[in-house]
Amino acid sequence: MKQKHIMQTVWLLTFGKVIAMGYGLLLNVSMVSTSNLRLGSYSQTLVILQLTSLIGLLLGSFLRFNWLEKINYGQLIMLANVALVFAIGSCFLGLPLGYTLFFKLIGIILSGYMAPKYYTDLVQVIDEEQLTRVDSLVNFVLLISAPLGILLTTICLQLFGLKTSWLLELGATLIFILAGEIVIYKNKH
């Protein structure tokens, strides 16, 4: 896995998922406390968010974009997180939910686009005998990262409050993007 740079992808996915889970929790808390981030009731807004995710995943999984085919997997992760930065920024600034939905949709489309590409690359790079172990390891790490992101965000909410937690989430995402780009650049050269 190390020789084929799969560990880099696993770490990028893990930290990306930690940040995304924190974003989801902060967005839910914000929807409860801020009317700007609701369309109708809270439950109606949750349905709209879930539909946005479903539509984004379907579009990303089934549509093929030529310019995205030229971008490597790590760069796709970074692009999805850039969309997340804009979504977090719109929440931090208190912009209406439409902005957040738009940027979330872009990030989800990119995530949906990555999934088939990831499994195709994994099958091509890993030997057949090791494929199940590698896939199990990656899924285990991603499974652990979800509660970790929620735990860290919950701690931030309890210690600092909503507005500061949004700022910390934004800072963590920007640091992740910068560090990810450095890792990707070093592995290319």
Which helix H or strand E contains 65, and what residues bound it? none
> In whole angstroms, what is the distance from residue 111 CA to residue 87 CA?
15
Distance separating alpha carbons of residues 86 and 147, to the nearest angstrom: 23
For the chain, the 3-state helix, strand and coil shares in percent, each to the nearest 5, are 85, 0, 15
Q: Which of 100, 103, 117 is nearest to 31 (CA)?
A: 100
If DSSP codes are grouped into helix, strand and coil, which group holds residue 126? coil
pLDDT string in tens for the chain (189-residue length): 555 567 777 788 888 899 999 999 999 999 988 888 888 889 999 999 999 999 999 998 888 878 888 887 778 888 988 999 999 999 989 899 999 999 999 999 998 888 777 777 777 878 888 888 888 888 888 899 999 999 999 999 999 999 999 999 999 999 998 988 887 777 776
For the chain, the straight-line distance linking the first and the last C-alpha, in angstroms and rounded, comes to 18
